[in-house]
Amino acid sequence: MLMQTKPNLTLSREDFPTDFTWGVATSSFQIEGATHTDGRGASVWDTFCEQPGAIADGSNGSIACDHYHRYEEDLDLMARLGVNAYRFSMSWPRVQPDGRGAWNEAGFAFYERLIQGLLQRGIQVHITLNHWDMPQALQEAGGWANRETCGYFVAYALEVARRFGRYTQSLCTHNEPWVIAVLGHELGVFAPGLKSRKTAMLVSHHLLLSHGMAVKAIREAGIKLELGIVLNLSPIYPASDSEADMQKAKIDDGLNARWYLDPLCYGRYPEDVLSHLGDDAPTFSPEDMATIAQPMDFVGVNYYTRNFSSSGNPWDVNSTGNEVTDMGWEVYPEGLTELLCRLHQEYGIQCLRVTENGAAFKDEMVDGQIDDERRESYLREHIRATHDAMAQGVPVDAYFAWSLMDNFEWASGYEKRFGLIHVDYPSLKRTPKRSAKWYQQFLKA
Ligand code: GCO
């Protein structure tokens, strides 16, 4: 179906292929709560939240949205939205408290209830195995900096695929390896809070390697389901046309995007980044690189904004005058179109999914309603940007809004709200916002 761009006209669901997947996304640590319930082990984020000053509002994930107990209500909310897919993550320490050895049947039973609830409502199951909350017990044995963790991850991935593969549309190995490596191990602003670029780059290698090992193992086990990875990709632009800024933008793009896309798609690290890293580059073998480059059924893209690089400040957001969200991220839907086109043209990716897209804005409840027009507009503009890429022949087959509901926004705690559905803390009352009603209407049409 050749799709035509529809400049300035309101897009409707009919402007997309009938089999296009429309979903919402969440992650385990951000919504489940019940961190000490039914045998769940500690994750690195439970430990990180206890570090003084780590979380802006001093909160943690012990309750979050209490999705662990309220999942039926949340499933009904998804069904009322009219989505046909739900992207969520499995808490590794909930099903394997130590990250190796014994499985926790009560943990698997929760995900069984959740998955059956989705299927009963005609909602596709899209699971992420690692959305950052790896078992603390493994961290104490070196975590992702320890190559043995790759093997433990494969055992976990195989167990999940064996138990749930028949019900699952797609299985993503890692959500945003760059965030785990750089924010978690170089800048230390995310769990586990380490500050070593050399460690961060070794972690990124082990995340990519464990991805390839898991994909290979699941395929060799003959378990049929779509396998892929999810990357956070922000197109990076030079803050000016000076040579210094152009060079900075190139290496920042290298560190954020090409360091992951080149091995996954071409089986090699980018030479310019390797030389930029020098002794901080990880050691790796040709066998490692061949393992990483397992063919994938999809690549998920989490898109929020673009970034600018200036030789002075590597993450300087250029003052473009465009609207910014409550995270300080510029609203730039064109960046999503450019990114999707690049991924198809430069990397030949044959199945792309927008696995996260959304915005935090300060929500105000007035007479029991939240009139989040800016979030509605953000979603509408980025759905259009997705359509614009598809009209240029880019193979995108899904869009997941981030997020189903307000939740624990990592180091920002509960201060930043991304949900289509408002969560009142601590009553935990769910209230669909204007954006949820818009998405519902869009999906009904
Ligand atoms: C990410 C994570 C989400 C975040 C969302 C807003 O992409 O960073 O997958 O867990 O909450 O992106 O920052």
pLDDT tens digits, one per residue of 82-124: 999 999 999 999 999 999 999 999 999 999 999 999 999 999 9
Which atom of ligand 1 is nearest to 175's Cα? 9
Residue 340's nearest CA partner among 387, 270, 402, 400 is 387
**Residue 326, ligand 1, Cβ within 6 A:** no
**Residue 175, ligand 1, Cβ within 6 A:** yes
**Omega before residue 7 within 30° of 0, cis:** no
Tokens 């979030």 — which residue? 375
Which atom of ligand 1 is nearest to 232's Cα? 7
* Nearest-angstrom CA–CA distance, 309 and 313: 7
Whether the per-residue pLDDT at 384 is higher than 90: the answer is yes
> What does the DSSP 8-state code read for residue 98?
T
Which atom of ligand 1 is nearest to 409's Cα? 11
Which atom of ligand 1 is nearest to 418's Cα? 6
* Torsion sign across C-alpha atoms 137, 140, 143, 148: negative
Which atom of ligand 1 is nearest to 402's Cα? 5
Which residue has a Cα nearest atom 6 of ligand 1? 409
3-state DSSP assignment of residue 353: strand
pLDDT tens digits, one per residue of 251-300: 999 999 999 999 999 999 999 999 999 999 999 999 999 999 999 999 99
- What pLDDT score does 6 carry? 59
Cβ 37 vs Cβ 93: under 8 Å: no
Whether the per-residue pLDDT at 157 is higher than 50: the answer is yes
Q: What residue spans of 222-302 are helical by DSSP H? A: 243-253, 259-266, 271-277, 286-292
* Nearest-angstrom CA–CA distance, 191 and 133: 8
Tell how far the Cα of 302 is from the centroid of ligand 1, in angstroms: 8
- What pLDDT score does 362 carry? 96
- What pLDDT score does 371 carry? 98
Active-site hit among 32, 176, 186, 409 = 176
Q: pTM of the prediction?
A: 0.97
**Residue 128, ligand 1, Cβ within 6 A:** no
pLDDT tens digits, one per residue of 22-35: 999 999 999 999 99
What kind and span of H or E run contains 129?
A: strand 124-130
pLDDT tens digits, one per residue of 187-199: 999 999 999 999 9
Q: What is the mean pLDDT of residues 353-368?
A: 97
**Residue 27, ligand 1, Cβ within 6 A:** yes
Token code pair at residue 278: 């020098």
* Torsion sign across C-alpha atoms 431, 31, 435, 16: negative
- What pLDDT score does 316 carry? 57
* Nearest-angstrom CA–CA distance, 161 and 443: 30
Q: What is the mean pLDDT of residues 212-234?
A: 98
Computed over every residue of the chain, the mean pLDDT equals 96
Cβ 322 vs Cβ 286: under 8 Å: no
Whether the per-residue pLDDT at 80 is higher than 60: the answer is yes
Instruction: List the single range of 167-176, 230-239, 391-400 with lowest mean pLDDT.
Output: 230-239
Q: Which of 24, 29, 30, 302 to mutate to test the pocket of ligand 1 (most atoms within 8 A of CB)?
A: 302
**Residue 402, ligand 1, Cβ within 6 A:** yes
Name the pLDDT band for 319 (thresholds 50, 70, 90).
Answer: low
Q: What is the mean pLDDT of residues 228-238?
A: 95
Whether the per-residue pLDDT at 361 is higher than 50: the answer is yes
3-state DSSP assignment of residue 279: helix
**Residue 409, ligand 1, Cβ within 6 A:** yes
- What pLDDT score does 445 carry? 76
Cβ 305 vs Cβ 360: under 8 Å: no
> What does the DSSP 8-state code read for residue 85?
E
- What pLDDT score does 219 carry? 98
Token code pair at residue 146: 């320890």
Q: Is 176 designated active site?
A: yes
Name the pLDDT band for 9 (thresholds 50, 70, 90).
Answer: low
Cβ 177 vs Cβ 204: under 8 Å: yes
For residue 419, the one-letter residue type is G
Active-site hit among 32, 186, 330, 356 = 356
Cβ 355 vs Cβ 396: under 8 Å: no
Whether the per-residue pLDDT at 152 is higher than 80: the answer is yes
**Residue 406, ligand 1, Cβ within 6 A:** no
Q: What residue spans of 121-255 are helical by DSSP H? A: 136-139, 148-164, 177-178, 197-220, 243-253
Tell how far the Cα of 121 is from the centroid of ligand 1, in angstroms: 26
